């Protein structure tokens, strides 16, 4: 009997495993198929909730988008910066899209999205500059953006209508609009100043570089291929988490980089390897390690934001956010980060071990359970669905009043004439220009 039972058990395990792999394979195939064939068949299954805002996504001609030279866009979608490429496509497919057949019908839109691939363009230019090819990348990316905006202004009547305040740009560069230079010397940056910037870098208040304004801009999640952690979740749901605190990634000796935070983490790894699993190289076991970790350290790098936060959420490791100024995507609206992250002030980095050990195991488990309910908010599905990242971006905008120019009455008597002032004009201030990394966070 026992051997029959154990054979049956073994078969059951085998079947479960095979079934799991089968679905994984099926999922991968479907993904690949939908990439090649387009996924229109699935959009009809999207549950409908009446959108209260309409967005019009401009059609930018290929000759402007893909531009003159090394725009090897094929390799861009592998990067989390490629949200600049994916989001316009996703929004266009979403229920929020105003599918105008004639340009004049687009006048009903509340928001206008201007697609552009600036970060990809700049990264490609820098790569080829390092290889001795291209040069002057900052000037070229400024020109690239200007040409696209010129096109929008010349071909459509909508930009002028509200001085660009209802126009949106995905600025996935680590420092958002700073890709186009300092505010006091960059014409294109000033032209974009009143528009809505969708960036990976959210900040609680206007920063010294003036790249994020919480009143009008929106912090969004990066684009990531999360198929691996999702399959890990399915296979080891309640897996033992053997790593206490985890960090893998770039650490340089320059203090300016991460203001000493990552260097301190490297020291934790050297002095206390039992608690701290720290590796300086990116590696193939990243997802396995992350899903075996109880806490994932997410320190600032060149920029305040880091993709690790979202990786950790997907992999079930509690994020330890060590970046005082960063306000991650959807905080306070659709995601209550306080339910599951540990926020450690940068000044308290030396007390990290005590802070983490002070969290009771029960609380840690509860935080991990809380975290699970938010994962969908950070995922860009191949087609948009309710409450995924694309949908949440629009839900967040729908909570705000539609941006409109405020008429300023200058003459109270007789012919009162309306003048318009975009709300984001501030006297420019000179910032020391700093090198910004090309992608290593």
Interface with ligand NAG by CB under 6 A: which residues?
A: 43, 93, 95, 97, 99, 327-328, 331-332, 337, 341, 343, 348, 351, 354-355, 358
By beta-carbon proximity to ligand NAG, the closer residue of 150 and 339 is: 339
Tokens standing for residue 360: 């009771």
C-beta pairs of 363-370 under 8 Å, 24+ apart in sequence: 364/294, 364/318, 367/318, 367/339, 367/340, 368/316, 368/318, 368/340, 370/339, 370/340
By beta-carbon proximity to ligand NAG, the closer residue of 203 and 251 is: 203
Least distance (Å) between residue 337 CB and ligand NAG: 4
By beta-carbon proximity to ligand NAG, the closer residue of 95 and 161 is: 95
Q: Are 349 and 261 in contact (CB under 8 A)?
A: yes
Distance (Å, rounded) from C-alpha 197 to C-alpha 170? 6
By beta-carbon proximity to ligand NAG, the closer residue of 157 and 332 is: 332
By beta-carbon proximity to ligand NAG, the closer residue of 7 and 99 is: 99
Least distance (Å) between residue 336 CB and ligand NAG: 8
Distance (Å, rounded) from C-alpha 14 to C-alpha 247? 34
Distance (Å, rounded) from C-alpha 332 to C-alpha 91? 23
Q: Report how far apart, in Å, the C-alpha atoms of 270 and of each of 6, 204, 266 are.
A: 46, 34, 6
Least distance (Å) between residue 404 CB and ligand NAG: 22
Eight-state DSSP code of residue 303: S
By beta-carbon proximity to ligand NAG, the closer residue of 264 and 288 is: 264
Q: Which of 337, 335, 302 is nearest to 321 (CA)?
A: 337
Least distance (Å) between residue 357 CB and ligand NAG: 8
| Residue matched to tokens 């995924």 | 388
| Residue matched to tokens 């126009």 | 167
Distance (Å, rounded) from C-alpha 306 to C-alpha 201? 9
Least distance (Å) between residue 358 CB and ligand NAG: 4
Least distance (Å) between residue 99 CB and ligand NAG: 4
Q: Are 46 and 386 in contact (CB under 8 A)?
A: yes
Number of CB atoms found within 10 A of residue 47's CB: 8
By beta-carbon proximity to ligand NAG, the closer residue of 88 and 181 is: 88
Question: What is the number of residues in the chain?
Answer: 441
- 167-171/196-199 β-pairing: parallel
Least distance (Å) between residue 341 CB and ligand NAG: 6
By beta-carbon proximity to ligand NAG, the closer residue of 163 and 245 is: 245
Least distance (Å) between residue 71 CB and ligand NAG: 25
By beta-carbon proximity to ligand NAG, the closer residue of 99 and 135 is: 99
Eight-state DSSP code of residue 56: E
Least distance (Å) between residue 331 CB and ligand NAG: 4
């Amino acid at each position: 009997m026992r051997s029959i039972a154990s054979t049956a058990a073994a078969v059951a395990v085998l079947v479960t495993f095979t079934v799991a792999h089968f679905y994984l394979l099926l999922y991968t195939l479907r993904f690949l198929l939908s990439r090649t064939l387009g996924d229109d068949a699935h959009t009809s299954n999207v549950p409908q909730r009446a959108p209260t805002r309409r967005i019009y996504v401009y059609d930018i001609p290929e000759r402007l988008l893909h531009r003159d030279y090394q725009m090897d866009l094929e390799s861009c979608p592998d990067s989390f910066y490629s949200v600049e490429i994916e989001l316009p496509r996703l929004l266009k497919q979403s229920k929020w899209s105003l599918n105008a057949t004639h340009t004049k019908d687009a006048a009903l839109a509340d928001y206008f999205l201007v697609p552009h691939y600036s970060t990809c363009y700049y990264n490609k230019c820098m790569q080829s500059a390092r290889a001795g090819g291209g040069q002057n990348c900052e000037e070229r990316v400024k020109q690239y953006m200007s040409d696209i905006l010129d096109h929008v202004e010349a071909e459509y009547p909508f930009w002028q209508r509200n001085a660009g305040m209802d126009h949106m740009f995905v600025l996935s560069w680590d420092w958002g609009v700073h890709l186009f230079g300092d505010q006091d010397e960059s014409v294109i940056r000033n032209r974009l100043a009143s528009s809505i910037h969708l960036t990976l870098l959210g900040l609680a208040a206007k920063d010294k570089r003036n790249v994020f304004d919480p009143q009008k801009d929106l912090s969004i999640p990066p684009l990531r291929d999360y198929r691996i952690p999702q399959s890990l979740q399915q296979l080891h749901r309640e897996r033992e988490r053997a790593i206490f605190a985890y960090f893998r990634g770039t650490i340089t000796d320059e203090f300016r980089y991460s203001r000493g935070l990552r260097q301190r983490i490297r020291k934790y790894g050297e002095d206390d390897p039992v608690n701290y699993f720290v590796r300086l190289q990116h590696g193939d076991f990243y997802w396995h390690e992350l899903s075996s970790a109880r806490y994932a350290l997410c320190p600032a790098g060149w920029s305040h934001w880091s993709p690790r936060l979202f990786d950790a959420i997907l992999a079930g490791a509690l994020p330890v956010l060590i970046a005082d100024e960063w306000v991650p995507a959807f905080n306070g609206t659709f995601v209550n980060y306080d339910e599951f992250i540990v926020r450690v002030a940068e000044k308290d980095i030396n007390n990290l071990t005590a802070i983490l050990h002070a969290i009771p195991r029960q609380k840690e488990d509860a935080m991990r359970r809380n975290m699970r309910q938010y994962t969908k908010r950070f995922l860009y599905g191949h087609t948009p669905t309710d409450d995924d990242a694309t949908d949440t971006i629009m839900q967040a905008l729908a909570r705000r009043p539609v941006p409109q120019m405020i008429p300023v009455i200058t003459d109270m008597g007789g012919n009162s004439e309306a003048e318009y002032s975009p709300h984001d004009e501030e006297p420019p201030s000179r910032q020391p220009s700093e090198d910004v990394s090309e992608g290593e966070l």
